[in-house]
Chain A
Amino acid sequence: AQKITQTQPGMFVQEKEAVTLDCTYDTSDQSYGLFWYKQPSSGEMIFLIYQGSYDEQNATEGRYSLNFQKARKSANLVISASQLGDSAMYFCAMRRPSGGYNKLIFGAGTRLAVHP
């Protein structure tokens, strides 16, 4: 069965430092996609970054990068130069190939607190 595991319920980081949020996944599918979303207290799920299982290079989007290690089935999110506005819940999700559409399975999330 497909599953996403985020082992860090909470993380703290000093402003301007880098932080890594862990995500491991379990799937027997060969083709899949991995997402990271940010959820501030307002509730909206904000898309951050996407990595396809066949992508050879790690995805990057501005200050966000995804450390994809396929053999280890991990897809850690790295946030560089943390800002106070980065404080939020972060969810890792996996896209199941199901009838060709994007059905997402989410992890339990990691709450990130950025300190000044």
Chain B
Amino acid sequence: DTGVSQDPRHKITKRGQNVTFRCDPISEHNRLYWYRQTLGQGPEFLTYFQNEAQLEKSRLLSDRFSAERPKGSFSTLEIQRTEQGDSAMYLCASSSSDPASGNTIYFGEGSWLTVV
């Protein structure tokens, strides 16, 4: 169990550029989530995948945001035409649908985005 890993950990980009974040969940987890956390706030739900299917998207996820999980393993979150308001930490999390595994959701260390 290597935990949830995210890459890159930090990204500084100019307004208008595109950025992509990658998340590798815990290997046996079929559920994957993206959250966004701004300074001084708790994380907010963005989207959820079960295997490769994206089953829910928050209204926070504007048309400039797209998330994929092509083979039901790693996931990417792309932000197009970044704006300064996109500056935040993007957290990935994973869990198992197996009831025997309990209710724990494991988070990664997050990807910090700064749009200048």
A and B interact physically:
yes
Interface residues of B (CB under 8 A from A): 31, 33, 35, 40-45, 48, 50, 55-56, 89, 91, 93, 95, 97, 102-110, 112
* Chain A nearest Cβ from B114, distance in angstroms: 13
For the complex, what is the distance from the CA of A47 to the CA of B106, rounded to whole Å? 7
Residues of A with C-beta under 8 A to B43 = 45, 91, 104, 106
Residues of B with C-beta under 8 A to A107 = 42
B41 touches A44 (CB 8 A): no
Q: Is A13 an interface residue (CB 8 A)?
A: no
Report the tally of A-B residue pairs with Cβ distances under 8 A. Answer: 68
Residues of B with C-beta under 8 A to A99 = 55-56
* Chain A nearest Cβ from B77, distance in angstroms: 16
For the complex, what is the distance from the CA of A108 to the CA of B42, rounded to whole Å? 5
Which residue on B lies nearest to A49, using beta carbons? Answer: B104
Q: List 26 A-B contacts (CB under 8 A).
A: A4-B42, A42-B109, A43-B109, A43-B112, A44-B109, A45-B43, A45-B91, A47-B107, A50-B103, A91-B42, A91-B43, A93-B42, A98-B56, A99-B55, A100-B97, A101-B31, A101-B50, A101-B97, A102-B95, A103-B45, A103-B48, A104-B33, A104-B43, A104-B105, A109-B41, A109-B42
